[in-house]
């Protein structure tokens, strides 16, 4: 029966994307092994005083090789890709941990084995402290139990403390990732201060859309910001007349919260349908952003109603993309492919 291994990848030198793809390709070519799946790629700030942002991820591998042989093969891949590890006397811990690298391949888990035979340590000795390992691991095996700590991957990830970052820095990073509008909410309650905050937020990046609440002060701020050519998303809308007032003030978006209306026994999508109809009657350019989406059915109804945008949690995205017939069809296709004993 094949072994189940998880391999961590990291690169921050040269063309990182090419390095990452090449490493996965070489792992996939290991004898008596096959890649089951691999995680998303994570961009990670380096630890220590080194320069160069890392690309990190995890690969799940089935292999007939024992752990020590697999590790030797991974080190050989590193060498062929130009990685130079220290030879001879061990370097100091700081020099050993924090170095730029073309590629770094770590054997994180190997079945449920616990191995402390230098140079091999499995599970990897510090993976429980590293978000850039735990986050991709949680994609692949959230329920996997760390054999030494007796805690699941998802629990280890949840237990990591998130360093508090400046709001402006987070918004700038989001705008670099998202090629489109990014809502940034004001926190004041008085219109003059909302306008001041909104102007500061809008200066951070052209993608920023200032988010104001549907209050009298929020509408005053919306009108003032729109007069300065700053886009506004008016939020916390629960009726079509609230949406109409926001559109009259020049809002680029209005955000009805359908899930919260459902919570109090009202049909949130009746409100969405009414808003869409009113806007069409008067040809408002304001777009309807359906918020508090909690299920695939919510998203379908938003699309049927003619909403322009929806915000939804990642678990709903995964649900809408999954269908049992898709899984069965893929399994049948791959079964037929494996019968040919070919490789692409």
CATH of the domain at 120: 3.30.70.560
Using an 8 Å Cβ cutoff, are 14 and 54 in contact? no
Q: How many CA atoms lie within 13 A of 23 on its CB side?
A: 32
Which residue range forms the structural domain that includes residue 260?
Answer: 167-321
CA–CA dist 238, 244 (Å, integer): 11
Q: What is the pLDDT of residue 115?
A: 93
Residues marked active site are found at: 211
pLDDT higher than threshold 60 for residue 88: no
Q: Are residues 238 and 306 in the same domain?
A: yes
Torsion over CA of 280, 281, 286 and 291, rounded to 10 degrees? -70
Q: Are residues 181 and 250 in the same domain?
A: yes
Task: Indicate the pTM of the whole model.
Answer: 0.54
Span 266-311, pLDDT tens digits: 999 999 999 999 999 998 999 999 998 989 999 999 999 999 999 9
CA–CA dist 194, 188 (Å, integer): 5
Over pLDDT 90: what percentage of the chain? Answer: 76
pLDDT higher than threshold 50 for residue 92: no
Assigned domain for 90 exists: yes
Question: Is the alpha carbon torsion for 91, 92, 97, 98 positive or negative?
Answer: negative
208 three-class SS: strand
Q: Domain end: 159, 177, 208, which one?
A: 159
CA–CA dist 198, 291 (Å, integer): 21
Number of domains in the chain: 2
Residue 292 in tokens: 């508090």
Span 66-76, pLDDT tens digits: 999 999 999 99
Neighbours of 259 (CB within 10 A): 14
Question: Is the alpha carbon torsion for 76, 78, 82, 83 positive or negative?
Answer: negative
pLDDT higher than threshold 70 for residue 261: yes
Q: Are residues 118 and 176 in the same domain?
A: no
Q: What is the pLDDT of residue 49?
A: 58
The residue whose two tokens read 């995964």 is: 318
């Amino acid at each position: 029966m094949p072994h189940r291994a998880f391999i961590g990848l990291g690169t921050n030198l040269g063309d990182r994307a090419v390095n990452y793809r090449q490493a996965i390709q070489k792992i996939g070519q290991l004898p008596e092994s096959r890649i089951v799946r691999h995680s998303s790629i994570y961009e990670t700030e380096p630890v220590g005083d080194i320069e160069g942002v890392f690309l990190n991820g995890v690969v799940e591998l089935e292999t007939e090789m024992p752990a020590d042989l697999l590790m030797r093969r991974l080190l050989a891949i590193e060498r062929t890709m130009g990685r130079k590890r220290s030879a001879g006397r061990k370097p100091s811990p700081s020099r050993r941990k924090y170095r730029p690298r073309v590629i770094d391949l770590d054997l994180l888990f190997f079945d449920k084995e616990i191995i402390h035979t230098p140079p091999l340590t499995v599970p990897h000795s510090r993976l429980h402290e590293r978000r850039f390992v735990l986050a991709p691991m949680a994609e692949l095996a959230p329920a996997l139990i760390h054999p030494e700590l007796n805690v699941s991957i998802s629990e280890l990830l949840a237990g990591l403390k998130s360093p508090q970052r400046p709001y402006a820095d987070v918004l700038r990073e989001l705008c670099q990732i998202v090629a489109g509008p990014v809502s940034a909410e004001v926190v004041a309650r008085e219109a003059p201060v909302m306008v001041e905050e909104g102007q500061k937020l809008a200066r951070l990046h052209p993608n920023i859309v200032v988010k104001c609440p549907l209050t009298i002060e929020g509408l005053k701020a919306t009108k003032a910001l729109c007069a300065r050519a700053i886009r506004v998303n008016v939020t916390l809308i629960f009726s079509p007349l609230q949406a109409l007032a926001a559109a009259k003030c020049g809002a680029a978006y209005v955000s009805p919260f359908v899930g919260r209306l459902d919570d109090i026994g009202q049909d949130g999508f009746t409100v969405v349908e009414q808003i869409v109809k009113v806007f069409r009657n008067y040809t408002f350019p304001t777009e309807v952003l359906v918020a508090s989406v909690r299920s695939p059915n919510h998203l379908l109804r938003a699309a049927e109603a003619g909403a322009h945008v929806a915000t939804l949690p990642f678990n709903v995205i995964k649900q809408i993309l999954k269908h049992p017939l898709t899984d069965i069809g893929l399994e049948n296709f791959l079964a037929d492919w494996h019968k040919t004993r070919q490789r692409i």
